[in-house]
Amino acid sequence: MTTFSESQLLDAYRRMRTIRDFEERIHAENTTGDIPGFVHLYAGQEAIATGVCIHLSEKDYIGSTHRGHGHCIAKLCDVKGMMKEIFGKQGGLCAGKGGSMHIADLSQGMLGANAIVGGNPPLAVGAALTAKTKKTRHCAVSFTGDGGSNQGTTFEAMNMAVVLKLPVLFVVENNGYGEGTGADYAVGSRDIAGRAAGFGMPAVRVDGTDFFAVAEAAGEAIERARNGGGPSAIEAVALRFYGHYEGDPQTYRSAEELKRIREEGDCMKIFRARVTGEGTLTEAQLDAIDAEVAELIEEAVAEARAADYPPVSELTTDVYVSY
């Protein structure tokens, strides 16, 4: 059983709280029409990104999805840079050229949100190949969803990782829906972890609303990867609070389900109840973090709104290193 120090738990809570507030604020800001394009919110799944990334340093790599804000924050990407990017502004993590679905911060080991479902597992395999070739003891994590788990790229990446014995962890976040189609319908075996195990790697299914369950499984898998034990997979189940995209009327799921998720499947409430119940953290400590995060998000939005859009002269820059 992994035990976490007080500071680690505070850190985990801060990451989760930041993701939740960030996403709820984007949900609100999006209604103003000032955010270009479309956004996909991670709220409800905070314990998964955090439970995994709490074990990683900036030298470890993660690949993410179109629902990538949570992975970025859990991997400690700059929140203000993220907000500017989502607003398409100068000073954004990708200089306003990527947007919500392409936020990346290589200096933090964040290889990018990825708007192609199933796009990142092969890339995470590549990052793991670098770690193995250079013998760094670093590892790579691929985050995908139940939708991405049905892509051939995911199968290829899992098999290749086993064949080459690469230090990579495949985290499949089963949030119940691939866009508007239920995972119980679209995942033929209804057992994503079992399917991963079929490729020849240790794979477990965990409650994705329980930070401790995710962190336990991820810690074990990442340790195995660092020690040359090859890849692992985790299927983490946690339903998303919001729609596939902002504006999704979510007619494919019932009002009762949405209500139940918030009441029974809120990882923030579950975390808070556990740490205060066990006496490892106090309400006051958590409230203090809530206040700091609220201030950070407020500043991030204000700065993003105040920032300029990139000048048209940047349209043709950075296509190549040299050309």
Number of neighbours of residue 31 by Cβ within 10 angstroms:
10
Q: What b/e readout covers 273-296, taking b as 16+ CB neighbours within 10 angstroms?
A: eebeeeeebeeebbeebbeebeeb
Binding of other proteins by 93 (CB under 8 A): yes
Beta strand 181-182 with 177-178: parallel, antiparallel or unpaired?
A: antiparallel
Binding of other proteins by 251 (CB under 8 A): no
Q: Coil, strand, or helix at residue 197?
A: helix
The amino acid present at 280, given as its one-letter code, is: T
For other proteins, which residue of 102, 137, 253, 305 counts as binding (CB under 8 A)? 102
The answer for 152, left when phi > 0, alpha when psi is -120 to 50, beta otherwise, is alpha
Q: Print the binding letters for residues 34-73 with other proteins: x by CB under 8 A, - otherwise.
A: ---------------------------x-x----------
Helix axes 46-53, 6-30, angle to 10 degrees: 140
Least distance from C-beta 72 to other proteins, angstroms?
A: 12
Candidates 40-48, 128-136, 230-238, 254-262 — which segment interacts with other proteins by CB under 8 A? 128-136
Q: Print the binding letters for residues 133-152 with other proteins: x by CB under 8 A, - otherwise.
A: xx-----x-----------x
Burial of 197 (0-12, 13-18, 19+ CB in 10 A): middle
Choose between 2 and 159: whose C-beta lies nearer to other proteins: 159
Choose between 126 and 145: whose C-beta lies nearer to other proteins: 126
Residues found near other proteins in the complex (CB under 8 A): 61, 63, 92-98, 102, 104-107, 111-112, 114-116, 119, 121-131, 133-134, 140, 152-153, 156-157, 159-160, 163-164, 317-323
